């Protein structure tokens, strides 16, 4: 057996039992991507709402939901006559964002699409944490203040700094999920904060009224109160959509 053949066989055995192609195929459909994009806010959505977002018939959406659930990307439950759907977890959101980062950006088709894209770029939720210019600006400010080290680990001053954002680090209960994970932002091509801490920051700015959810979207609007409070923390990037 040649060295070339041995390497090939070893590579194949390393992938035994991992059907990556089957998972990748679930993302390879524009309707399913549109549905997953809605679900990226980490909340429950009715199948009918997903059908409208993808501009497909409800019966077609039900078929896509079945495939996505069988593939482990989503979970669903019944609430009366409605079937509610959500992402299966943060790993699915991370996979979606990684694919978006690898994808080439296409031109927005029309004013409405251009406005929606700019709103996403300004501020949005990425599953349960903040993304867009807002998410990146918070990470940058934490680094500049010394709350995060260059390797994105928490420094001794992190507790004090994040408390100003409304997050009590000491109160975050240990979970199987990492306390802090770094996620690459596909619109900014920069890092923002994920993990338990990222989720806590997102909840804090929403609960304090610094941001509000835009209707029928995971894009966020930074309120005047939020702009003022964020500026006090050294977060003064362009957080508003220009379109």
Minimum mean pLDDT among 50-64, 164-178, 217-231: which range?
164-178
pTM: 0.76
**Residue 114 counted as domain residue:** yes
Rg (CA), the chain: 20
**Residue 2 counted as domain residue:** no
In whole angstroms, what is the distance from residue 105 CA to residue 103 CA?
6
- Confidence label for 3 from pLDDT (cuts 50, 70 and 90): very low
**Residue 74 belongs to a domain with what CATH number?**
1.10.10.10
**Residue 73 counted as domain residue:** yes
Q: Are 133 and 238 in contact (CB under 8 A)?
A: yes
In whole angstroms, what is the distance from residue 158 CA to residue 151 CA?
14
pLDDT score at 97: 83
**Residue 201 counted as domain residue:** yes
Residue 142: which domain range? Answer: 109-232
| The pLDDT of residue 241 is above 90 | no
What contacts 55, CB < 8 A, 6 or more positions away? 31, 34
What value does the mean pLDDT of the chain take? 86
- Work out how many domains the chain is built from and give that number: 2
| The pLDDT of residue 60 is above 60 | yes
- Do 63 and 120 have their domain in common? no
Task: Using the 3D structure, point to which of 34, 57, 88 is the last residue of a domain.
Answer: 88
70-108 pLDDT per residue, tens: 999 999 999 998 999 999 988 898 888 888 878 766 655
- HSE-CB at 151 with a 13 A cutoff on CA atoms is 2
Query: What sign for the dihedral angle of Cα 181, 73, 88, 36?
Result: positive
% of the chain at pLDDT higher than 70 = 86
pLDDT score at 215: 85
Pairing assessment for the beta strands 191-194 and 181-184 based on DSSP bridges? antiparallel
């Amino acid at each position: 057996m040649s060295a070339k053949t041995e390497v090939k066989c070893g590579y194949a055995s390393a992938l035994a039992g991992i059907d990556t192609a089957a998972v990748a195929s679930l993302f390879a459909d524009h309707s399913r991507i549109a549905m997953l994009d809605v679900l990226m806010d980490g909340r429950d959505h009715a199948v009918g709402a997903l059908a409208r977002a993808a501009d497909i018939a409800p019966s077609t959406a039900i078929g896509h939901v079945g495939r996505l659930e069988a593939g482990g990307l989503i979970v669903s439950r019944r609430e009366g006559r409605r079937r509610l759907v959500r992402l299966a977890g943060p790993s699915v959101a991370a996979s979606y964002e990684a694919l978006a980062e690898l994808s080439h950006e296409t031109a927005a088709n029309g004013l409405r699409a251009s406005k929606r894209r700019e709103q996403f770029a300004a501020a949005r939720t990425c599953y349960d944490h903040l993304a867009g210019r807002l998410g990146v600006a918070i990470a940058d400010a934490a680094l500049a203040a010394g709350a995060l080290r260059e390797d994105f680990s928490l420094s001794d001053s992190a507790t004090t700094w994040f408390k100003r954002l409304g997050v009590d680090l000491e109160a975050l209960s240990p979970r199987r999920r990492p306390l802090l994970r770094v996620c690459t932002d596909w619109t900014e091509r920069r890092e923002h904060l994920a993990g338990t801490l990222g989720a806590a920051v997102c909840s804090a700015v929403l609960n304090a009224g610094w941001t509000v959810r835009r209707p029928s979207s995971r894009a966020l609007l930074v309120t005047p109160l939020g702009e003022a409070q964020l500026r006090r923390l050294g977060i003064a990037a362009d957080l508003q959509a220009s379109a």
